[in-house]
Amino acid sequence: MTPHADSVLRRLQGPCTQSVLTYYEMKGIETVRPEDVDAYKANYRCFTPGLQATDIMDAYTDWAQTYDATLCAGRYNGPEMAAEEIAARVEEHHRHCVRVLDVAAGTGKVGKELAKRGFTMIDALEPSEGMRNLLEDTGVYSYKYTEFLGLGENSVPDDTYDVVVIVGGMGEGHIPVSGIDDLIRITKPGGLVINVMRLEYLDYVEAYKDKLEPYMDLLHQKGWWQKVDRKVVPNYAFDKEGIIFIHRVL
């Protein structure tokens, strides 16, 4: 075991540790700085393989009150990255009339970043009750959906949003590949879908590996949407690379 691994393992041991194998079973933790291990553990609880959707929602509800402190700026930079991407594509004088849906909105980090940049028509989709309660405190969301994507019918109307953004909502047990169909359905023709996620999930999340990106490309070929950009970015979360997918619905 490397000195770094040994240090991380010591941080993991305690009343919440089930076995020594915990370190090795937590994918991606081997590159996490020792000072970020506790935060990574809290995050990983919501991304543990094998959890059902209800288990994940319960985990987020339990975590809600300390979520923002745990995933603070510097440790998790996805919301700011997404807001910058959106702002770069919408002229400042037009932002007040652009309708945005923040998918997997969590505690409202993305919405608050968008509000700083002049966006005022922001709705949220968030199935976790604990997270959704905190969205009320942000004061930036007009309407809040209690919905899942890709799991069947939901109440989000078709062709409604100029921009649909999802940050951190793609991961183990989270939005399935079929959720892409919903993202397209609820976006206006000509509108943007922006997905910001951890790059390594494309390599080891079985639901996405060799499936997510090929499916997005297939929909491009079918004329459902057009690929605008695909960029790998540094320091998305826990010093790990992120990937930003930007598509325009046709």
Identity of the highest mean pLDDT range in 7-11, 17-21, 230-234: 230-234
119: number of Cβ within 10 Å? 23
Cα 88 to Cα 95: distance, rounded to the nearest angstrom: 11
pLDDT band of 22, cuts 50, 70, 90:
low
Q: Is the pLDDT of residue 230 over 70?
A: yes
Q: Is the pLDDT of residue 157 over 90?
A: yes
153: number of Cβ within 10 Å? 7
> Which superfamily does CATH assign the domain made up of 78-249 to?
Vaccinia Virus protein VP39 (3.40.50.150)
Name the 3-class secondary structure at 120: coil
Q: pLDDT higher for 209 or 3?
A: 209
Cα 57 to Cα 51: distance, rounded to the nearest angstrom: 10
* Sequence-ordered list of residues with C-beta below 8 angstroms from that of 242, at least 6 positions apart, any chain: 78, 81, 196, 197, 198, 199, 232, 233, 235, 236
Q: Is the pLDDT of residue 6 over 50?
A: no
Residue range 144-164: mean pLDDT, rounded: 92
Q: b vs e for 215-224, b when ≥16 Cβ sit within 10 Å of the residue's Cβ? A: ebeebeeeeb
Hey, where are the domains in the chain? Answer: 3-70, 78-249
Query: What does the pLDDT read at residue 154?
Result: 85
pLDDT digits (tens, 9 = 90+) for 165-191: 999 999 999 999 999 999 999 999 999
* Sequence-ordered list of residues with C-beta below 8 angstroms from that of 177, at least 6 positions apart, any chain: 150, 207, 208, 211, 212, 215
pLDDT digits (tens, 9 = 90+) for 37-88: 999 999 999 999 999 999 999 999 999 999 999 999 999 999 999 999 999 9
pTM: 0.90
